[in-house]
Amino acid sequence: MTTSASATGGPGPGAGETRPEPDPRRWRALWVTLVAGFMSLLDVTIVAVALPTIQRDLHASPAEVQWVVSGYALAFALALVTAGRLGDALDRRRIFLLALGAFVVFSAACGAAPDITLLVPARLAQGLAAGFMAPQNSALIQQMFRGAERGRAFGFFGATVGISSAVGPVTGGAILALASGEQGWRWIFYVNVPIGILAVLLGRRLLPRTRQSGRGHVDVPGVLLLGLGVLALMYPLVQADSGGIGHLWWLFPAGVALLAVFVRWQRRLVARGIQPLLDPRLFTTVRGYAVGAGVGTLYFIGFSGVWLVFALFYQRGLGYSPLRSGLAVTPFALGSACAAVVAGRLVDRFGRVLTVCGLAGVIAGLGGTALLLRFAPLDTAVWLTAPVLLLGGVGSGFVVSPNITMTLRDVPVRMAGAAGGALQTGQRLGAAVGTAALPGLFYVVLGRSSDFRGALGVALASALAGMLASLALAAFDWRRDREKRRPHRKCPDEVANSPVHARHS
């Protein structure tokens, strides 16, 4: 299967694209990309449960060991848009396989690291490889699928995104329980190696090549401006545990200024007929892209941070093991997995209403969980939260999967990598805000009152605020779409003054 790419055409659907016959191997190729994507996103959260063990075994300080998690997330986010554009300009298959191979190598390096000085750079390199791989996933779906099949494929992709974030704690806990011993944490990284090698071999055989009309233009000034802007916004957040937000606050306005210059530079390139790093017309002319990116960013602020808060509450407040702590939130992951696959089949029929209903379900599920864990007896509250978390998980499945589908489905294939990278960059920024702010609030309340239940309630209420903002944006978009589809009914004055009425009078 091949596609052709236009360098400077407008972003309207279908512009500059051919319509080849579907690749008969597309569904098997999809599973290769989903497995790789699952590994890369799982590594954002899976390591969190092992941090105390890593810190003890490697004799690291809290600030050093925090970089094992935050450094990965930072490098991941920095690479996304640039990697997506390179995939659009060159060859998505080649970049995906190279990035996947690098991810495997650096996963092995993380597992073998003898001290924190080598573990942190290996994690940064692993995150960079994951960032180069991630936008190729959504771009390959755009390339391989059309019509209703694309919605189903994005349904599986959305399920992968949602599940990988939700099951990270329980997966990490299970690996630590099975790989007993002082060095058991190393298997959290080693487990990627055999799976990744198999995915590389299958990817070489199944993934379609992308023939471009030329090598394409890579906007180097745009890469630098966007990279520095994202770095300025994320660096204080990843340093939050060591007071980064307090003494690095000036990086936030600097990051906003850099991103404003980036937008002006992209518009200038478009006006000169040069392909930018991220075409601004994606946000102004491609239906659903701007709203979908906003909904995803706001949702991930609350969604990503709650799992760290739950882990802190169960492990430090109730004394649970990492495995038991992960199992306590498993109903959410199960509900999300099942609902996301179903939602992928329904999104063409129901559209944005799925996101609205899903967000309402997540808010009800997490809000109910917060109330139960705050006021119900603790010996029964954990069991009572299972059905409520299941409801929240089902809602999440109807948020992530349909939103990804509606955000990317009208993006031209030649721009799919950059569009997917920008969408995921917003999600990573939202996740960085959530994972910094929610545990921070938890610790602030805990330090003042020593009340684990009260700290959990405040943190979850803050997460719900982000989700309510996402719901408001999704509801606005749904209502706007309904108004556009509603037939226009002329008022009596319009009818009386119309040429047809005047003729008949």
Residue 32 has pLDDT above 80, yes or no: yes
Task: Point out the least confidently predicted range of 49-58, 206-215, 245-254, 365-374.
Answer: 206-215
How crowded is the C-beta side of 1, counted as CA atoms within 13 Å? 24
Residue 238 has pLDDT above 80, yes or no: no
Rounded-to-integer distance, Cα 382 and Cα 369, Å: 9
Please give the backbone phi and psi of residue 445, each rounded to the nearest 5 degrees, phi first: -65, -40
Rounded-to-integer distance, Cα 281 and Cα 266, Å: 10
For the segment 324-331, the average pLDDT, to the nearest whole number, is: 84
Question: Which of residues 228 and 89 earns the better pLDDT score?
Answer: 228
Binning pLDDT at 50, 70 and 90, where does residue 430 land? confident
For the segment 241-248, the average pLDDT, to the nearest whole number, is: 72
Binning pLDDT at 50, 70 and 90, where does residue 495 land? very low
The residue type found at 352 is R
For the segment 143-160, the average pLDDT, to the nearest whole number, is: 79
Q: What is the mean pLDDT of the chain?
A: 82
Helices (H) and strands (E) in the chain, counts: 22, 0
Q: By three-state DSSP, how is residue 486 classified?
A: coil
The pTM for the full model equals 0.77
Binning pLDDT at 50, 70 and 90, where does residue 1 land? very low
Task: Point out the least confidently predicted range of 107-121, 160-174, 185-199, 344-358.
Answer: 160-174
For the segment 337-357, the average pLDDT, to the nearest whole number, is: 83
Rounded-to-integer distance, Cα 138 and Cα 133, Å: 10
Please, which residues have CB within 8 angstroms of residue 199's CB and are 6 or more apart in sequence? 32, 35, 36, 39, 100
Please, which residues have CB within 8 angstroms of residue 276's CB and are 6 or more apart in sequence? 219, 222, 265, 266, 269, 270
Rounded-to-integer distance, Cα 201 and Cα 450, Å: 52
Rounded-to-integer distance, Cα 100 and Cα 106, Å: 10
Q: By three-state DSSP, how is residue 443 classified?
A: helix
In this prediction, residue 198 carries a pLDDT of 94
Residue 498 has pLDDT above 70, yes or no: no
The topology under which CATH files domain 26-218+277-484 is Growth Hormone; Chain: A; (1.20.1250)
Binning pLDDT at 50, 70 and 90, where does residue 358 land? very high
> Could you give the C-alpha distances from 106 to 74, 99, 329, 355, in angstroms and in order?
16, 10, 30, 37
Name the residue ranges covered by the structural domains of the chain. 26-218+277-484, 219-276
Rounded-to-integer distance, Cα 13 and Cα 273, Å: 19
Q: Comparing C-alpha atoms, which of 92, 140, 113 is closest to residue 50? A: 113
